[in-house]
Amino acid sequence: MLYNGVSFNEDWAKTKTVEEFVAHEGHHDLSEKQLKEAYYLMNPKVKKTEEAKKLVEKPLGSE
């Protein structure tokens, strides 16, 4: 998946928790909120927390 100019491996992301994903992908020039948004967009079946719902319903994009 391409998110804000960064290509993420969706198959790999589906095997990780949001915390693992953010920790591993933190080297990209994206905020923690943007990384979480990318994760939740790639993993729509993940039980959504209130934070996840807000991030996906109101995309951050290039914040």
44: exposed, middle or buried (Cβ count in 10 Å: 0-12, 13-18, 19+): exposed
For 2, the 3-state DSSP assignment is strand
Tell me the pLDDT tens digit for each residue of 12-57.
Answer: 999 999 999 999 999 999 999 999 999 999 998 776 667 777 776 6
In this model, does residue 63 exceed pLDDT 80? no
